[in-house]
Amino acid sequence: MKKRHLLLVLGIVLIFIGGFSFGVIYTVNNKPIQLKIAPAPASAVKPMEKPVPEIPKSKSKVLVGYVQDFRDPNLIDYAKLTHVIFSFTHPTKDGDILFSGDYALKNLRTIVAKAKQHNTKVILAIGGWYHIEGGESYPYFKAAISNPAARTKLVNELAGFVEREHLDGIDIDFEHSRSAEDAKNLKAFAKQLSGKLHAKNKELSIAVYSKINAETLTEVGFVQYQPEMFKYVDHVNIMAYDGQWDGKYNAANLSPYKFTKKIVNYWSNLFEQHHLSKDKLVLGVPFYAQPADPKIKQLSYAAILKNNPANGSADTVKINGTNYFYNGTSTMEKKTKLALVHGFGGMMLWEAGLDAQDPKSLTAAIYYALKNGNGKYYSQKN
């Protein structure tokens, strides 16, 4: 009898413990569960922690397109661009910002709405070569960033505008930093603006002079930057064009491949020497054609292609008796490959409104070359 009594007591205890455990499980999950009896795995006896392997993420390359404020927002290929940089707002000497007119703000808002449909970021560029009040932008920009009070005001104006208009950041286009003092003030401006924007998860980019003379293919000293400044920006958009003005006017020096190769090598070496990420570097290319006669106006790539679709793969063309120099699809592929080989973060174009609305657009050539990762698209398809 004692033995049976002992077994009965043990049975009751086991039932009680099992019921308590089930009750805990039910209470935690707050829903009925089905229990399946199975042998406990070895790991249940002695848990083994294994580190989760880190999978390296390959950063996608950017394709940045500047767009002038008077362009029709409906003509931009938002689907292929990662960033649209709206150009320009103009700085005043005391730190305010000016737009060209009501149409500029209207176009900007339309671009923001259309870009968001394609997850394309919209950045506002400040500066440029010409100022809305006449002459070069340089003296206005210089004054604004040289004075600490004006600089702070300008930073706050830009950061506030980005928030109000639902933009993704600011692009600094100070043309150009012409002295050590300019370089110092530009760095201070970039640092202060970066702090404001990055705190709101916004971007800061900067357009820079190529630093190479297209005629001599040597370094230019009259434009100066403090390399430390580039720590504060997300992208460095290299203006690797307009070499026709280096020395005696020569339209062929607009942006030839040999010129671009020197530029890429210069910036690659600079960033390596100062332990800066080359992924910030973005190689700029022109979407316009330079005439041999400087008295004649430039032509857009759209006009070049409209004249003859075969012009798309060339770099020179004669129209109405004038020779024009530009970058066709083949050269754009080569330049894209050059940027990729050197570890650049992507490509930039000036400007999207000059491109052809055509399958052979330059935007498409660069887009697919970046996507394929080998700088090739049209040369493989055609």
Residue 174 pLDDT greater than 90, yes or no = yes
Three-class SS of residue 1? coil
In a domain, 172, yes or no: yes
At residue 373 the predicted structure's pLDDT band, cuts being 50, 70 and 90, is: confident
> How much is the pLDDT for 336?
98
Average of pLDDT values for 150-163?
Answer: 98
Structure tokens at 115: 């870009």
What residues contact residue 38 under an 8 Å CB cut-off, 6+ apart?
none
Task: Evaluate whether residue 3 is within a structural domain.
Answer: no
* pLDDT the model gives residue 51: 43
State the pLDDT at residue 179. 97
Which among 233, 229, 230, 228 has a CA at the least distance from the CA of 202? 233
Question: Is residue 9, in this structure, part of any structural domain at all?
Answer: no
Residue 73, pLDDT > 90, answer yes
Vertex 327, ends 324 and 328: CA angle to 5°?
A: 105
Residue 115 pLDDT greater than 90, yes or no: yes
For the record, the structure tokens of 27 come out as: 């209470």
Query: Mean pLDDT of all residues in the chain?
Result: 87
Domain-located, residue 32: no
User: What does the pLDDT read at residue 119?
Assistant: 97
175-220 per-position pLDDT tens digit? 999 999 999 999 999 999 999 999 999 999 999 999 999 999 999 9
Residue 105 predicted with pLDDT over 90:
yes
> Does any domain span residue 46?
no
Residue 2 lies in a domain: no
Q: CA 111 to CA 127: how far, in whole Å?
A: 19
pLDDT tens digits, one per residue of 264-314? 999 999 999 999 999 999 999 999 999 999 999 999 999 999 999 999 999
Share of the chain above pLDDT 70, in %: 82
| Identity of the residue numbered 323 | N
Is residue 251 in a domain? yes
The predicted pLDDT at position 59 comes to 65
Between 48-57, 140-149, 182-191, 255-264, the lowest mean confidence (pLDDT) is in: 48-57
Using 50, 70 and 90 to split pLDDT, how confident is the model at 375? low
Asked, for residue 377, whether it belongs to a domain, the answer is yes
Does the pLDDT at position 357 exceed 50? yes
- Reduced to 3 states (helix: H, G, I; strand: E, B; else coil), residue 342 is coil
Could you give the CA distance from residue 60 to residue 344 in angstroms, rounded to a whole number? 11
The stretch 337-356 carries a mean pLDDT of 97
Total count of domains within the chain: 1
Domain holding 377, by residue range, is 62-287+328-381
State residue 34's pLDDT score.
Answer: 36
pLDDT of 376: 58
* CATH number of residue 126's parent domain: 3.20.20.80
- Answering whether pTM is above 0.85, one says no
Give me the pLDDT at residue 374, please. 61
**Structure confidence at residue 371 (pLDDT):** 93
What residues are paired with 348 via a beta bridge?
A: 64, 284
Q: What is the pLDDT of residue 358?
A: 81
- Cα distance between residue 380 and residue 363, in whole Å: 17
User: How is residue 182 annotated by DSSP?
Assistant: H
More confident residue, 64 or 42: 64
